[in-house]
Amino acid sequence: MSVIRFLRATLIEGLSVYWTLAKVMIPVMIAVRILVELGVLPILARLFAPLMALVGLPSELGLVWATVLLVNIYGGTAVLLGILPEITLTTAQMTIIGTMILIAHSIPLEQRVSQRAGVGFVFSTLLRVLGALTCGVLMNLIYQSLNWLQEPVALTVLSGGGAPATEQGWGDWALSNLHTLGIILAIVVGLVLLLRVMDKSGVTRMLTGLLAPVLGAVGIGGRAMPLTMVGILLGLSYGGALIIKEGQAGTIPRKDLFLSVCLLGLCHSLIEDSLFIMALGAHWSGVVVFRLIFSLVVIAALARVYGLLPKGMVNRLFFSRDGRAVVSV
């Protein structure tokens, strides 16, 4: 009976998560379809062409990333699914855009969390956006130079294998997207089940133990370490809320708080969001390994810069008004 209760609770949780995503994705899918019908998509794509060229991506993907920055991962996914029939991507390109999405998304919401934790909104936003672009450039150089993951990404199952949207009637388009939403439902429920199994089996605790010495090496220690690990594995909202509470209580040194929030901005929800993006065709080498290594290197560099700058400049550059009010150093 306990197994049945576990599966029932997991299914209910998965359906709840899926309904939250569907409420975002369906309106965006319809909006993208209208843009395709009106011929607006190529015009918008040209606006993003120079930026996407830096990271070796088709210009149309700029609209995906812009949506991700302003809305969330799932709104951007809806745009991506809407334009996939119009473009051809390699596995490397899907990995690059997927990693950029994971680093920088939901800026208005998530950077408010960072601001509440004490880190300046402008700085943390620039860190994530420029970090995502830099990571994309580096990944493109690596994949191109090694001629790795250059095969077309396998998306026929998720995209329904349909014709380009410009060749589909509304009926065919609706059927194709219902198929896609059904696949995403299976993915979401499967991810929730996997996460719960990982919790029950102790895998999550094992990953937390493995991360602890790494965080210490880049300058995050003490009370900030376990809170940061929660955010890395589960999400910025979870870890950020805990850090806000401890930061306001003055139990976390300012430097640890700053580095922790910055790391969570670059690399959070390492399990769930990474698996979701990998289900779209991205490769683990980018969305998990390279993203984590890149984030840790950036934080190590920030720790060095933080120690070299005068405290007054640190206050002005890195902290919000809330953060400047914290007396613990």
Over residues 224-267, the pLDDT tens digits come to 777 677 677 766 655 566 666 666 666 678 888 889 889 988 99
Mean pLDDT in residue range 42-58 = 85
Q: Which residues pair with 90 in a beta bridge?
A: 152
**68-77, 227-236, 274-283: least confident range:** 227-236
Domain ranges of the chain: 2-324
What are the CA-CA distances from residue 102 to residues 6, 96, 329 (Å)? 29, 10, 31
Given a contact cutoff of 8 angstroms between Cβ atoms, the answer to whether 209 and 243 are in contact is no
What is the per-residue pLDDT for 11? 83
User: What is the amino acid identity at position 87?
Assistant: I
Mean pLDDT in residue range 62-90 = 83
The Cα 227–Cα 142 span in angstroms is 33
What is the per-residue pLDDT for 101? 94
Query: With left for phi above 0 and alpha for psi between -120 and 50, is residue 269 left, alpha or beta?
Result: left
User: Cβ contacts of residue 22 below 8 Å, gap of 6+?
Assistant: 181
What is the per-residue pLDDT across 170-223, written as a single tens digit (0 to 9) for each? 666 677 667 767 777 777 777 778 767 877 787 767 776 777 777 777 778 766
What is the per-residue pLDDT for 209? 73
Which of the two residues, 62 and 240, has the higher pLDDT score?
A: 62
**72-86, 121-135, 165-179, 274-288: least confident range:** 165-179
DSSP state of 84: G
Q: Which residues pair with 152 in a beta bridge?
A: 90
Given a contact cutoff of 8 angstroms between Cβ atoms, the answer to whether 262 and 303 are in contact is no
What is the per-residue pLDDT across 158-170, written as a single tens digit (0 to 9) for each? 554 444 444 556 6
The Cα 214–Cα 198 span in angstroms is 21
Confidence of residue 329 (pLDDT cuts 50, 70, 90): very low
The Cα 267–Cα 287 span in angstroms is 10
325: pLDDT strictly greater than 70: no
Query: With left for phi above 0 and alpha for psi between -120 and 50, is residue 148 left, alpha or beta?
Result: beta
What is the per-residue pLDDT for 151? 94
Query: Within its chain, how far is the Cα of 174 from the centroid?
Result: 28
- In the chain, alpha helices (H): 2-38, 41-54, 61-70, 73-83, 91-103, 107-116, 121-146, 156-159, 170-201, 203-217, 224-234, 236-249, 254-266, 272-279, 284, 291-308, 311-318, 321-324
Give the residue among 245, 248, 250 at the shortest CA–CA distance from 231.
245
pTM of the model: 0.78
100: pLDDT strictly greater than 70: yes
User: Cβ contacts of residue 80 below 8 Å, gap of 6+?
Assistant: 61, 64, 97, 280
What is the per-residue pLDDT for 322? 56
- A 10 A CB-CB count for 316 gives 13
What is the per-residue pLDDT for 315? 87
What is the per-residue pLDDT for 225? 73
